[in-house]
Amino acid sequence: MAFIPETLPRVVISREAKKNPRRASVHEVAIAETKISVLGEMRFIVTMAIRIMLFEPIVTFLAIFNGFTYGLVNCLAP
């Protein structure tokens, strides 16, 4: 995890705007100047994960299937 680059759009845009101030648009500069709330971002990530689990059928099915197989492996393992 330490070597994976950041993918949060606000962070990526703000870094690019700081690197190349001449190429940055007004929108990018506004994003770069705003403070990022760590708790707000954590809340967004957790709620997005829960939304995906509830409203995406394939993700829900795979989570149930994964839990079932994990339970079988642990139940049947000596």
- DSSP three-state, residue 23: coil
For the chain, the domains span 9-76
Predicted TM-score (pTM) of the model is 0.46
Distance from C-alpha of 72 to C-alpha of 75, rounded to nearest angstrom: 5
pLDDT digits (tens, 9 = 90+) for 2-50: 787 777 777 777 777 777 767 666 666 666 566 777 888 889 889 998 9
What pLDDT is attached to residue 61? Answer: 94
CA distance 57 to 60: 5
| Amino acid 47: pLDDT | 92
Condensed to tens digits (0 to 9), the pLDDT of residues 53-72 reads: 899 999 999 999 999 999 99
